[in-house]
Structure 1
Amino acid sequence: MKTVHTTLSLSPHRLHRIDFDPATFGEHDLLWLPYCAQLAQAGRKRKAEHLAGRIAAIHALGEYDEKGVPGIGEARQPMWPAGIYGSISHSATTALAVVSRQPVGVDIETLFTNQLSDELADSIVDSREQTLLRAAPLPFPLALTVAFSAKESLFKAWSARAAPRPGFHSARVIAIGPDSLHLQPSAHFSPRLAGQTFTLHWAKIAQQIVTVTQ
């Protein structure tokens, strides 16, 4: 599969980005993955996305002198080396990965259209959050996409302590700015994390939104 590796900085992390061409994917591209047999039943699209994500993860792990490939956990999550936390995300033909010594989550989403924002808003944010996002100096579709992505990143970072399916309303946006926002999880997200405030950073790259936990 044809891929291009680049990096981008999103405070305080360095993200590894893989842009890939799914049309060039071949089954043989998976053979170097130690667990390739686990992907046998996956569709072609899923296989290409998975491969791109693992390539990004290998580049990210190289910063810590780690050369292994993250395996697949029971909940389909990446299995990182001891002492290292990481996160992988993909959207369309782009995959991202980040690693850290602290819990970390990354997410990439395609910018919502006006119509999609109207359709999804109530399922992503409550009325107070909608009021906050609509008052922000950002177009509402952009603000809502950032909120959606940030909640995904938060769950990825803290999934080990979060409920299995906490839902988007289990973490509330309490502030949003031009490059960061703050989320506050409730007890429905995690009793241990309830009431804490988490800062996430975001960036708009073409028609994609990237968020990462601080």
Structure 2
Amino acid sequence: MIGEILPSWVASAEAFADPPDARLFPEEEAVIARSVERRRREFTTARHCARRALARLGVPPAPILPGELGAPVWPAGVRGAITHCEGYRAAAVSLKALTVGIDAEPHEPLPEGVMETVALPEERAELARLGGAIHWDRLLFSAKESVYKAWFPLARCWLDFDEAHVTFDPAGTFTARLLVAGPEVEGRELTGFTGRWLVSDGLAVTAIALPPG
């Protein structure tokens, strides 16, 4: 599913259930030693997906530990992202991308009051005009999660929901315009991202992969 909205130079793997053969490295086990069962399953299957995706790049298995602000620390030369929600886990990795961001959410309305936190007034007006059967509020939340995951490895700092303006094309793409100064990437200031989205099988997924050049 996530692979449908990623370019060919990004490898991905996903799971719709937690495989019984998924295993962690001892260093990873230590991270979740005191976690509740649900968190353990999410973490374990997400790492299982990540290692499957890395194998498609020819990268050998290795621990994938949470680093600064919880972002996964990838093997040298790899850019990637992990996502999980109820009934779905996925990872996407690349040796070519400058950064990668993915997110998956249940395709249902956001809880009451969350939209006001996530969306700028202009975004709320734009989503209201889109209409249709898509839960655009949830898709906006997912897109902003992907934006943050793509932003953080480049900027190494937080990006709030109100610091990027996301615009959707109903054909399956979106753009994110940064409302704060971005980091310098390949000699130019980063001003935003473009991404793709998909709604299928009760899930809303979004993805960003920033190519070099």
Secondary structure of the residue that 1:42 maps to in structure 2?
coil
**1:126 matched to which residue of 2?**
120
**2:164 matched to which residue of 1?**
171
CA distance in structure 2 between the partners assigned to 1:31 and 1:131 by the alignment: 45
In structure 2, relative to structure 1, the CA distance for the partners of 1:58 and 1:168 (3 Å cut) is same
Matched, 1:107 2:103: yes
Task: Structure 1 unaligned segments of length 5 or more: list them.
Answer: 1-5
Query: Counterparts in 2 of 1:34-183, with a 5 A limit?
Result: 34-69=27-62, 70-100=64-94, 101-102=96-97, 103-113=99-109, 116=110, 119-139=113-133, 142-162=135-155, 164-183=157-176
Letter in 1 for 2:105: E
CA distance in structure 2 between the partners assigned to 1:57 and 1:8 by the alignment: 13
Secondary structure of the residue that 1:159 maps to in structure 2?
helix
8 A contact 1:173–1:183 mirrored in 2: yes
Once the 2 structures are TM-superposed, how far is the Cα of residue 156 of structure 1 from its aligned partner? 0.7
Task: Structure 2 unaligned segments of length 5 or more: list them.
Answer: none
1:142-181 deviation per Cα after TM superposition (whole angstroms, max 9, x unaligned): 2111111011011111213346432211111134323111
Q: What TM-score, normalized by structure 1, do the two folds share?
A: 0.82
Once the 2 structures are TM-superposed, how far is the Cα of residue 79 of structure 1 from its aligned partner? 1.2
In structure 2, relative to structure 1, the CA distance for the partners of 1:162 and 1:122 (3 Å cut) is farther
CA-based RMSD of the aligned residues comes to 2.6
Give the fraction of aligned pairs with identical amino acids, expressed as a percent: 25
What count of residue pairs does the alignment treat as equivalent?
A: 201
Letter in 1 for 2:153: A
**1:19 matched to which residue of 2?**
16
Moved more, 49-58 or 78-87: 78-87
Structure number with greater CO (CA < 8 Å, separation at least 6) is 2
